[in-house]
Structure 1
Amino acid sequence: MAFTPVRRKAADPEASQTRTLPAGPPAAVLGVALLAALTAAVAWGSTAVPPAEVWSVVWRRLSGEPARPGTNDLIVWQLRVPRALLAALVGAGLGLVGTAVQALVRNPLADPYLLGISNGASLGAVAAIVLGLGAGGTLGLGLSGAAFAGALATFALVWAVARRGGGFAPLRLVLAGVAIGQFLSGFTSYLVLRAGDEQQTHSVLFWLMGSLSGADWELLAVPAVAVPLAGLWLQARARGLNALLMGDETAAGVGIDVTRLRRELFAVTSVLTGVLVAVSGAIGFVALMVPHACRPVVGGDHRRLLPVSALFGALLLVVVDIVCRTAMDTQELPVGVVTALLGAPALLYLLDRRPGSGS
């Protein structure tokens, strides 16, 4: 299933904006909603903290004042604020990656899993847990480092296979990603079976389904840099992404170096995916669903679609993480479970509302 350029007027994302909104109003609404969701994420939990106290603690910390005695300061600043910010960053990154990958391969069903990068990151993390390659292990990689190394290794392998024979065809890239991803997924399953004890198996499965429970200020550093930089880079190439959807010949005709743009897109989305999976585990459906939810509102022009997808992805994952933390009294739900339960019906609804649409 691909974006098929039947007529230029219909295929050009910049030419079919009659029923969509400019990016400003949706972005403003999403920004306000995200701020409210972040406040709720910090305030709600096993110990409730009033929103006014949340902002008081945040303001004092940002102003450089010392922590005050009591538990609220610790709960708000050390535990909940990093987790809420990590959810927003990961959600924004997944929204960006999903939008970019769908343009990269001209396929509305594309997401990081299609290119195998998420599978490679998962294999690296599971190997760190099961084989003892994490902190204190032989290589001292740590869980996040192992996941990122797995993503980069997979990127190199998919790249090498896709480039065999010259060129950089989207179909060859997808097929290489799917084949390698499935192979790595099978090896990951084998490592899960080798897990030495029940606790280890539980940790592996919980990580494979996505979790933000390990969030802290140190873990935030890399995604806090990678997500904005990737977003700015993609925004600067929004016209090139639009051109890709019209077909390679049309894109080349308007001055786009298609092979170079795809190569750069693949590299940026692979690295960003590796960063996201390294800090949050494998969270499915967000990268696939977010662009589909945003296109009916702002259209297919990536100058509008990219920032709105980032904001909506951030809002979605912050809300999902609130549900994961508060839905059950005795334990926390994996993030990937909730995104699948919410995402599959939502995506089916969106597709049903737009029969015959390729986007």
Structure 2
Amino acid sequence: MTRESRARLFMAALAMILPATIVLSISIGAVPVSLADFLQLLQKWLGFASDEGAGSQSQMVIEVIRLPRTLLGILVGSTLAVCGGAMQGLFRNPLADPSIIGVSSGAALGAGVGIILVGMLPVAFVLTLQIYTVPFLAFLGGFGATLLVYKIGTTSHGSSVATMLLAGIAIGALSGAGMGILTYISDDTMLRNLTFWQMGSLGGATWKQLLVIIPIMLGIQLFLIAQAKGLNALLLGESEARHLGFNIQNLKVRLIILTALGVGIAVSVSGMIGFVGLVVPHLVRMTIGPDHRYLLTASALLGGSLLTLADVIARVIVTPAELPIGIVTALLGAPFFMSLLWQQRNRIG
């Protein structure tokens, strides 16, 4: 079997896993929803059943809580995974990740500022402004962090991945200090919002929020996937990519802006969720190879499924309470990251 055939088969398998993950996420929780109720409600949505097709409690749980939460998990997971794959291609390093190089930290600081600013306004304006202000400030924070990392790590002789990673650590420390200041000046309500937001959660998903972010996040993913040929050329080196006719500087700017926007919005609506952008593209790369034409699309499918499954685990592991999803992804992703470092150590040794 050729590599392209294996990649197509792998993506077909992921495309079949995603609907199963959606059904699982909708069915499991503090209030269980039977598959029969879900199928009856699905028939109602499609116009094949009357309004009495599903029980009122199950219908409310699915429409108001589970389905928006599931869709948000798919959007955030796929966006973080695609952004992670793009960053790894840009830096030509499988250890590159939006959270490791400071993009997530910068976006977190921007979103934290937005949460504090919105919290100072009258209640009537809070919900409306939070939908727009927090994502915008998160984008500015992520973009500023990405641009700073890139400027520090790039000279006329090229880009230094090691320097960028160290710059990301420094930006993460500065962002942590900024979040500490915001925590210090917060009142009880702001402090609670910041604390839970920093640990990551999909529990705040609403249809109004989804209507705003769905076209933006899907658009970002499609634009990043469209850069696949340029990322493939970068695998050969910047000079080789220039000889192939690619405008490397414009490509880098596009990748930086799109990644910052994607991570910024993801962080603003779900809080800090780490390691998805690192683990998912690396798993895909180990399975089907480094061709970004398939890698980015497969990462989107796997990232959506993986984060949705992590959310299911977060809901049931400490029932009836709920574990922040950022803790679950860290517990899953940190050992994987350490195994990657161990493998690199063995290769160097």
TM-score range, shorter-chain basis?
A: 0.7 to 0.9
Instruction: Return 5+ residue gaps in structure 1 as ranges.
Output: 1-16
Q: Which residue of 2 aligns with 1:5?
A: none
Match of 2:13, as an amino acid? V
Residue 84, structure 1, aligned to residue 74, structure 2: no
Percent pairwise identity: 36
The range that moved more, 128-137 or 234-243, is 128-137
Q: What residue in structure 2 maps to residue 186 of structure 1?
A: 177
SS at match of 1:283: coil
Q: TM-score, normalised by structure 1?
A: 0.84
Letter in 1 for 2:184: L
- How far has the Cα of 1:148 moved from its partner? 3.0
Between the aligned partners of 2:225 and 2:155, the Cα distance in structure 1 is 28
Per the TM alignment, residue 256 of structure 1 is displaced from its structure 2 partner at its CA by 1.3
- Paired position in structure 2 for 1:111: 97
Give the match's secondary structure for 1:214: coil
1:46 aligns with 2:34: no
1:282 aligns with 2:268: no
Q: Which residue of 2 aligns with 1:148?
A: 136
Aligned residue among 233, 237, 256 for 1:266 = 256
Contact 2:232 2:292 in 1 (8 A): yes
In the TM superposition, what is the alpha-carbon distance from 1:113 to its structure 2 partner? 2.2
**Residue correspondences, number:** 341
* Corresponding letter in the other structure for 2:273: I
C-alpha deviation, 1:44, in angstroms: 1.0
Residues 20, 297 of structure 1: 8 Å contact kept: no
- Displacement after TM superposition at 1:235 (Å): 2.3
Question: CA 1:135 to 1:102, structure 2 compared with 1: closer, same or farther past 3 Å?
Answer: farther
How far apart in 2 are the matches of 1:281 and 1:161? 22
| Residue identity opposite 1:79 in structure 2 | I
Distance in 2 between residues matched to 1:138 and 1:81, nearest whole Å: 27
TM-score norm. by structure 2 comes to 0.86
Does 147-156 or 99-108 show the bigger shift? 147-156
Offset of residue 292 of structure 1: 1.1
Work out which of the residue numbers 4, 21, 38 in structure 2 matches 1:37: 21
- Cross-structure match for 1:126: 112
Give 5+ residue unaligned stretches, structure 2.
Answer: none
Alignment partners' CA distance in 2, 1:158 and 1:297:
29
- Counterpart for residue 319 of structure 1: 309
Q: Is the 8 A contact 1:283 1:335 kept in 2?
A: yes
After superposing the two structures, state which structure 1 stretch, 237-246 or 63-72, moved more.
63-72
Structure 2 residue 340 is the aligned partner of structure 1 residue 340: no
**CA deviation after TM superposition for structure 1 residue 84, in Å:** 0.7
Q: CA–CA distance in 1 between the matches of 2:321 and 2:9?
A: 38
* Higher mean C-alpha displacement, 163-172 vs 138-147: 163-172
2:79 aligned partner, one-letter code: G
Q: CA deviation at 1:215?
A: 0.7
By how many angstroms is 1:166 displaced? 8.2
Deviation at 1:125, TM superposition (A): 3.0
Cα distance in 2 for residues equivalent to 1:42 and 1:163: 44
Provide the rounded CA distance (Å) in 1 between the counterparts of 2:171 and 2:343. 34
